Amino acid sequence: MATSAFAPNARGYYGQFGGAFIPEMLYPNVEELRTQYLDILADPAFQQEYQQLLRDYVGRPTPLFEAKRLSAKYNTRIYLKREDLCHTGAHKVNNTVGQILLAQRLGKKRIIAETGAGQHGVATATVCALMGLECIVYMGEIDMERQKPNVYRMRLLGAEVRPATSGSKTLKDATNEAIRDWISNPVDTHYIIGSVVGPHPYPDLVARLQAVISEEMRKQLLEKTGSELPNYVVACVGGGSNAAGAFYHFLDEPDVKLIAVEAAGHGVDSGHSAATSVLGKPGIIHGSRTLLMQDEDGQITEPYSLSAGLDYPGIGPLHAYLGDSGRARFIAITDDDALRSVAELSRLEGIIPALETAHALAALDQIGAGPDDVVVVNLSGRGDKDLETYLKYAEKLTEQK
Amino acid sequence: MTDGTMTKKYLMKDRIKTTFEQKGKKLLNVYFTAGYPTLEATVPLIEAVTEAGADLVEIGMPFSDPLADGPVIQHSGTVALQNGMNMRVLFRQLQGVRQRVPDAPILLMGYLNPVMQFGVENFCREAAEAGVDGVILPDLPLDDYVEEYQEIFRRYNLRPVFLITPQTAPERIRRIDELTDSFLYLVSGPGTTGSQTGQDSTAQEAYFQRIEAMNLRNPRLIGFGIGDKQSFDRACQYAEGAIIGSALIKAMDGVDDAPAAARQFVQSVLN
Ligand SMILES: Cc1ncc(COP(=O)(O)O)c(C=O)c1O
């Protein structure tokens, strides 16, 4: 990817987006990471350990499954990239396995993370247990309530879950608290950020660690369809890590249409939405200049989505650039449409998706794919963590559009 | 835009330099958040703290997501935003402040995003018009400052202040010193504002002495975790003065007369 038009420049900019807008207290840590991450990732010993863990611990490669009944319904050829089958139930672990190895090489003893849906928190707690490292996960108080099973899971894995009680008490605030922790612990701590957000080099680091998704897709597509390239790749975007991983090795293939699906919440114009690409303006969040939901005074506004993994008021700078440059198309999906897609995939294919993932599925009737097109949907996670929500909205799940 | 009249207009006074030259040591810089505890408290508080003996005043511009701040300043910002504080209101409040407080340097401190949305040039012009002397934006990267903002800051004679921490490398400290023409903000230890960073006092002392031995061009003020006379006096052994924020804000919590509480607090630190 060294020659990609979509790689960040030396200061971490994708076009006008990216950079590292951090207080001096964070500078040494971020600089340490920036000067070392590429060398560490390129180190054969690192690669060997990373690949081995992806295979033997995460369970990669994940299958690429041809969803025939879903394909019949949408009159196109749909393949599901089964990230839900990763250990811990979502793509998040690809990143945490890589970052824990990185943290070890940086000599860090203590790991912190933020989490929204809890999937990244669980994935972080998991690798910390594996490596015997102390783990603290910040989670918005509201998210702790709506994703209870994941809170229990993290605690069972030996992590400390600290509630974030400021602001909207969701993902953005958990991220603030994690950053404040890092400011307070500048020497022994590594911050495993959970998406392609934050100051440079995080967006690039996390994208590289998730890139295994599209690397596998190309091989699997060649086997199954005779071509490495699909016509469409569809993924949901919270911060954008599963989408970055699913898009990565197709970024420089202009024939592959990239579809990024955001959460519209109650509707893009309802005042209760997380559709950053529509509602955002350039601004700074968590050390990155990107599209950001904010008021006219530059105060960050509180996003809304029923899904805890998508209600982030920004998107990763790569995605802001993909949208700006026209490389990716953004679609926003409401809570209700996502819920219907949960039931649809469950009944048509016997797969219960995460609520985040269901947003990507709900975009299938909007992308314009024809009968001969190959569509890959990145099935970022499984729905176990959302069962309580699904029960609560049981009627909406099965109502017709 | 860089014509002489404009530049001259804002070159009248170098209050920061004068303050450091005249007093030289034991300078007290106080921080509070604009619009806290009430929307209109900003200017009465500037008057109260300077009358009580504070040498410099830092006005916090509230932000929804203050990454470098601890719970006390976070809370004051939330209240201030609820009270209706924003950049326009602040600049309206600051009109005429120089008639009441002619000499004490006033600095604005906050995060880059609200400044960017207001427009950096607009922000600098309004600040200069109001008689503001310096700006502290902790999340403004040095390179971005040099490439995009330095010229604008200079045009309006606004002095940037940058932070230095125990982890800041010596060559970076030199660079910050070169880019500064006011004072250096020495963060006392690892932590957000208001945290008790002085636990390991030998390490802290070594840090302050290491900086002192660098013979930098600019004077230094120590901030973060300074909260009373004892910690103020101690900090003043290693620098020209110190900065107090959270403790002052806490002292105004729940009181009826915030300026009186602030005055009393400043006196308790100085006397
Ligand atoms: C299953 C699943 N998909 C997607 C996301 C959104 O994150 P990202 O946009 O970084 O992939 C999450 C976040 O928690 C998730 O759990």
Nearest to B163 among A24, A28, A286 (CB): A24
Structure tokens at A322: 């993909």
pLDDT score at B10:
61
pLDDT digits (tens, 9 = 90+) for A120-142: 999 999 999 999 999 999 999 99
pLDDT at A219 over 50: yes
Give pLDDT, residue B194.
87
In the A/B pair of chains, how many CB contacts fall below 8 A? Answer: 106
Which of A228, A187, A191 is CA-nearest to residue A206? A191
Q: Is the pLDDT of residue B266 over 70?
A: yes
Residue A145 in contact with residue A85, Cβ under 8 Å?
no
Q: Whose CA is nearest to atom 7 of ligand 1?
A: A238
Chain A residues within 8 A of B87 when measuring between CB atoms:
297
Residue range A338-343: mean pLDDT, rounded:
98
The 10s digit of each residue's pLDDT in A18-58 is: 999 999 999 999 999 999 999 999 999 999 999 999 999 99
Residue B185 has pLDDT above 80, yes or no: yes
Give residue B199's pLDDT band: very low, low, confident or very high (50, 70, 90). Answer: low
Q: What mean pLDDT, rounded, does chain A reach?
A: 96
Distance CA B205, CA B210 (A): 8
> Does the distance separating the beta carbons of B113 and A298 come in below 8 Å?
yes
**Looking at the predicted structure, is the pLDDT value of residue A10 above 50?**
yes
Contact status, residue B180 vs residue B164, Cβ threshold 8 Å? no
ipTM for this prediction: 0.94
Question: What's chain B's average pLDDT?
Answer: 94
Q: Which of A25, A172, A297 is nearest residue B65 as measured by Cβ atoms?
A: A172
Residues of B annotated catalytic, as ranges: 58, 69
With b meaning 16 or more CB within 10 Å and e meaning fewer, what string describes A143-179? bbebbeebbebbeebebebbbbebbbbbbbbbbbbbb
Cα-to-centroid distance, A241 and ligand 1 (Å)? 7
pLDDT at B12: 63
> CA Rg, chain A, in Å?
19
Q: Is the pLDDT reported for residue B3 higher than 50?
A: no
Q: Which residue has the higher pLDDT, A311 or A215?
A: A215
Q: How confident is the model at residue A380 (pLDDT cuts 50, 70, 90)?
A: very high
B84: pLDDT strictly greater than 60: yes
Distance CA B37, CA B40 (A): 9
Query: What local confidence, expressed as pLDDT, does residue B1 receive?
Result: 43
Q: What is the pTM of this model?
A: 0.96
Q: Is the CB of A380 under 6 A from ligand 1?
A: yes
Confidence of residue B197 (pLDDT cuts 50, 70, 90): low
Is A116 touching ligand 1 by the criterion CB < 6 Å? yes
- Interhelix angle A92-105/A44-53, nearest 10 degrees: 140
Q: Output the residue whose Cα is nearest ligand 1's atom 13.
A: A309
Pairing state of beta strands A257-265 and A281-285? unpaired
By most ligand atoms within 8 Å of CB, the mutation choice from A380, A382, A384, A386 for ligand 1 is A380
- Kindly state the average pLDDT of the residues B63-74: 95
pLDDT in tens, A69-104: 999 999 999 999 999 999 999 999 999 999 999 999
